[in-house]
Amino acid sequence: MRQGEACGSQTLLDKRESSLRKNSMEVEALHAVSAQPRNNWTKEEISTIYHAPLLELIFTAAKVHRHWHDPLSVQQCTLLSIKTGGCSEDCAYCPQSARYDTGLKAEKLLDPDAVYAAAMCAKNAGSTRFCMGAAWREARENAQFEQVLEIVRRVKSLDMEVCVTLGMLGADEARRLKEAGVTAYNHNLDTGEEYYDQIITTRTYQDRLDTIQHVRDAGMSVCCGGIVGLGESEKDRIDLLHTLSTMSEHPESVPVNALVRVDGTPLADRPPVEIWEMLRMIATARIVMPRARVRLSAGRLQMNQTEQALCFLAGASSIFTGEKLLTTGNPGYDEDKQMFQLLGLRSLELEENN
Ligand code: SF4
């Protein structure tokens, strides 16, 4: 190698090293000033964090995670579909939309006894939060809604956190759900506002934000996150994280899902989600919303245990357990129990959460 070449490579290396150090310090600095959760993040700040060198990003997220949470305590939640299929909405990822031929049969709302039995089984397997989803455009005050309220009361009697996701929600329905014992209402924003209409056209981003406001006003906690792999850009992911992290109060719960590609849906041919994308999303969510429970949600069936371990290191503090996540596959209870033993994780007890 000639002298000049060596010097040229050295200069390049110096530049690279200084840019890495700068980036790393920027992430550190942002973390250091964040003694309390901030809700004045700029998109530029979130972008700097999201694009930090991956190992620096995970390391910083792990530090934030340890500051706010016990990193060995992971909440197990179980998600049951209580009213499957036949939904009028057009969410492009969803096998439950009546608009797509996915082979899924529409079913009636489950009766309270059946749901109670499933919740009991989940509790015995270590779940402390029982989430129930109905494939509806919105919750309306009718006989089915009354049945949902009865289901909520029954599940609540098991001393579990109760979460429901029933579509859009008005102020009155939100109040009645809270009175029946609902802990949290899930309503995901799915993606950034600019990309949103590529995925859903039957309700607006503002409709979603209005539902979230009704949930907050009724005193339920907000569970709100998104999906990686819909064809969105990194900018769209940063937009989503910006919307979530600049809410007046951060969501208590932030599910991060990897798209589960289902034949018959418009997104069936999307490329699989890379683990690196999930890690960036989880770690950035952990840093900008340090108190939130970041939930490693759909897509775990496609991840091995090493990949899931990295997600926990990056700040994920919850998983969904049980063989089904609404209508798609999920690792079973035994598999997760074995993973927890392997990684030295414990299932969160509710007292820890208070
Ligand atoms: S509203 Fe829910 S159930 Fe209906 S299509 Fe969208 S994601 Fe699926």
Q: Is 77 assigned a catalytic role?
A: no
pLDDT, the chain, mean: 90
Q: Is 7 assigned a catalytic role?
A: no
Distance 234 CA to ligand 1 centre (A): 24
**pLDDT tens digits, residue range 107-131?**
999 999 999 999 999 999 889 999 9
Residue with tokens 């001393």: 159
- How many CB atoms neighbour CB 345 within 10 A? 19
Q: Residue 12's pLDDT is what?
A: 53
Counting ligand 1 atoms within 8 A of each CB, the residue from 89, 100, 104, 326 with the most, and so the one to mutate, is 89
Q: Residue 31's pLDDT is what?
A: 62
* Helix 171-180 with 143-156: angle, nearest 10 deg: 30
Q: Residue 324's pLDDT is what?
A: 76
Q: Residue 301's pLDDT is what?
A: 86
Do 308 and 333 contact (CB within 8 A), yes or no? Answer: no
Is residue 252 over pLDDT 80? yes
Q: Residue 30's pLDDT is what?
A: 62
66-348 fold: TIM Barrel (3.20.20)
The protein residue whose alpha carbon is closest to atom 2 in ligand 1 is 135
Q: Residue 327's pLDDT is what?
A: 76
Residue type (1 letter), 104 = L
β 226-228/253-258 pair status: parallel
Which of 222, 176, 103 shows the shortest CA–CA distance to 95?
103
| Element holding 131 (H helix, E strand) | strand 129-134
Averaged pLDDT, 267-289: 96
**pLDDT tens digits, residue range 320-351?**
887 777 777 788 888 999 999 999 999 888 76
Residue with tokens 């609404």: 326
Residue with tokens 């609902």: 182
Q: Residue 25's pLDDT is what?
A: 53
Indicate the pTM of the whole model.
0.90
CB proximity list for 241: less than 8 A, separation 6 or greater = 46, 50, 281, 284, 285, 288
**pLDDT tens digits, residue range 185-227?**
999 999 999 999 999 999 999 999 999 999 999 999 999 999 9
Do 306 and 83 contact (CB within 8 A), yes or no? Answer: no
Q: Of the listed 77, 129, 131, 311, which one is catalytic? A: 131
Residue type (1 letter), 63 = K
Do 165 and 185 contact (CB within 8 A), yes or no? Answer: yes
Q: Of the listed 91, 129, 176, 280, which one is catalytic? A: 91
Return the structure tokens found at 82: 């209580």
* Helix 112-124 with 143-156: angle, nearest 10 deg: 30
Pocket of ligand 1 (CB under 6 A): 87, 89, 91, 94, 96-97, 135, 167
Q: Residue 3's pLDDT is what?
A: 44
Q: How far is CA 295 from CA 32, 109, 121, 165, 351, in A?
A: 24, 26, 21, 15, 19
- How many CB atoms neighbour CB 65 within 10 A? 24
Which of 277, 283, 348, 346 shows the shortest CA–CA distance to 64?
283
Which atom number of ligand 1 is nearest to the Cα of residue 88? 4
Q: Of the listed 77, 154, 163, 208, which one is catalytic? A: 163
Do 232 and 192 contact (CB within 8 A), yes or no? Answer: yes
* Burial class, 344, CB count within 10 angstroms (exposed 0-12 / middle 13-18 / buried 19+): exposed
State residue 17 phi and psi, 5-degree precision: -65, -40
Q: Is 87 assigned a catalytic role?
A: yes
Share of the chain above pLDDT 70, in %: 89
Which atom number of ligand 1 is nearest to the Cα of residue 167? 1
Is residue 237 over pLDDT 50? yes
CA 252 to the chain's CA centroid: 11
**pLDDT tens digits, residue range 68-82?**
999 999 999 999 999
**pLDDT tens digits, residue range 10-58?**
555 566 556 655 666 566 656 655 678 999 999 999 999 999 999 999 9
